[in-house]
């Protein structure tokens, strides 16, 4: 059983540390922007004189494009390697920031949302494939560190952006990211993973690729872990979409304090993810993921019953613990897929997970409109708890 220092040395060995750093920083900016944009929506609505529904539709466009690109990105990564997709995704996302800055009308703002969704989608699946193939023995730790960087971006970028937007307008709050993400794209090309394709992919016909992909997705472990991943995405989307509103409207917190607690949630997730990844690599995925599911269920389940600034300040950040489930599940599921269709299969699953999971925001919104926010959050707790049944049903040998 290796120490933390030995694990870190393993991640850095053979020059892989620079590549991991570039991928993690790229995800920091991309994931951070997905939370940054909702933070500046009030200024965007005022600038274009659009309604809440129109602004919400813009975010829907972004998320749907992000989800829809996972499958083609996986197919492409199997055939041309991860580096080109990672570089292309980062570059397109950077270009989209410039498009946001220049958009004179709302229709072009929608186009910028779509462009960012494509770029972020091209980055997501190849990122997971790279981590799994580069760190076969410590993939959970590598996933945890990368996703933790994304959580730090989600915690910091909205605060920076809203500060800039308040003083100088929302456009400047976006455009400063252009050179930073372009630098990441250049770094990924310079130190990025080799562009070798997955074993045997270049010899597979479309029919054979489809046959192997369907066979891989019908694997018992993949099916059962999908029963964990989909509810995870659904509850995550629902929780993050309406948690600040819930804290203000039902718990009586002022908006600034609710925003502070929301940001601390991502700080906790950034701390938890690498710790959970290391624990999974050292002590096994079974007990680590099961413990995270239990903690995630309890923290949401008790939220409706608690009141007061001090109590909520202690509880709300702990909701970020659930974010650590995602990297561990990703590492497990990618590892379960055959190398020849790893990108194709994982891309298809991510498209389904994120496409269907996006409905979580709508569902919890319906509960809110009916004055039943508490019931909606209890539903999220129940769905989280049910995933323990699916995870426990996976044969222990498959998780070794």
Angle (CA) 363-365-371 rounded to 5° is 115
Residue 95 near residue 115, CB atoms below 8 Å = yes
Tally of structural domains, the chain: 1
The H-or-E segment that residue 400 falls in is none
Distance CA 399, CA 394 (A): 8
**Is the model's pLDDT at 166 over the cut of 60?**
yes
Q: What is the pLDDT confidence band of residue 332, given thresholds at 50, 70 and 90?
A: confident
**Surface-to-core class of residue 242, CB atoms within 10 Å of its CB (0-12 exposed, 13-18 middle, 19+ buried):** buried
Query: Does residue 91 or residue 331 have the better pLDDT?
Result: 91
User: How long, in residues, is the chain?
Assistant: 400
Decide if 380 contacts 203 (C-beta within 8 A).
Answer: no
Q: Tell me what the mean pLDDT of segment 6-23 comes to.
A: 66
Rounded to a whole number, what is the distance in angstroms from the first to the last CA of the chain?
14
CATH code, domain with 184: 1.20.1250.20
pTM of this prediction?
0.73
Three-state SS at 393 = helix
Distance of CA 15 to the CA centre of its chain: 26
- The gap from C-alpha 91 to its chain's centroid, in whole angstroms, comes to 19
* Parent domain of 39: 4-399
Average pLDDT over residues 270-275: 86
Cβ 151 vs Cβ 31: under 8 Å = yes
Is the pLDDT confidence value at 368 over 90? Answer: no
The Cα 121–Cα 227 span in angstroms is 22
Range of weakest confidence among 39-43, 145-149, 176-180, 328-332: 39-43
Angle at 304 between CA 299 and CA 308, to 5 degrees: 95
């Amino acid at each position: 059983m290796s120490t933390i220092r030995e694990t870190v040395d393993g991640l850095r060995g053979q020059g892989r540390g620079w590549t991991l750093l570039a991928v993690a920083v790229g995800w920091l900016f991309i994931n951070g922007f997905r939370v940054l944009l909702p933070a500046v929506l009030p200024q965007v609505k005022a600038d274009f004189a659009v309604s809440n529904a129109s602004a919400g539709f813009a975010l829907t466009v972004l998320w749907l494009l992000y989800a829809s690109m996972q499958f083609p990105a996986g197919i492409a990564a199997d055939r041309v390697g991860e580096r080109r997709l990672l570089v292309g995704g980062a570059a397109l996302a950077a270009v989209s920031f410039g498009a946001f800055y220049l958009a004179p009308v709302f229709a072009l703002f929608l186009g910028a949302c779509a462009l960012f969704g494509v770029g972020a989608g091209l980055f997501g699946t190849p990122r997971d494939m790279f981590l799994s193939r580069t760190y076969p023995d410590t993939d959970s730790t590598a996933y945890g560190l990368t996703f933790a960087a994304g959580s730090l971006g989600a915690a910091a970028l909205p605060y920076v952006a809203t500060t800039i937007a308040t003083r100088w307008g929302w456009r400047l709050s976006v455009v400063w990211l252009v050179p930073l993400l372009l630098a990441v794209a250049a770094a990924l090309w310079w130190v990025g993973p080799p562009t070798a394709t997955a074993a045997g992919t270049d010899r597979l016909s479309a029919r054979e690729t489809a046959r192997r992909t369907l066979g891989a997705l019908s694997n018992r472990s993949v099916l059962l872990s999908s029963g964990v991943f989909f509810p995870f995405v659904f509850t995550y989307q629902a929780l993050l979409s309406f948690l600040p509103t819930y804290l203000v409207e039902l718990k009586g917190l002022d908006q600034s304090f609710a925003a502070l607690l929301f940001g601390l949630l991502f700080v906790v997730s950034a701390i938890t993810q690498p710790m959970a990844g290391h624990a999974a690599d050292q002590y096994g995925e079974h007990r680590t993921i099961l413990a995270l599911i239990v903690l995630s269920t309890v923290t949401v389940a008790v939220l409706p019953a608690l009141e007061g600034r001090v109590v909520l300040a202690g509880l709300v950040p702990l909701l970020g613990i659930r974010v650590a489930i995602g990297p561990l599940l990703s590492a497990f599921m990618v590892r379960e897929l055959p190398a020849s269709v790893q990108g194709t299969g994982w891309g298809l699953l991510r498209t389904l997970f994120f496409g269907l999971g996006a409905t979580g925001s709508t569902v919890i919104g319906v509960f809110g409109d009916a004055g039943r926010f508490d019931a909606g959050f209890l539903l999220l707790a129940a769905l989280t708890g049910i995933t323990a049944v699916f995870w426990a049903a996976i044969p222990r040998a498959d998780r070794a």
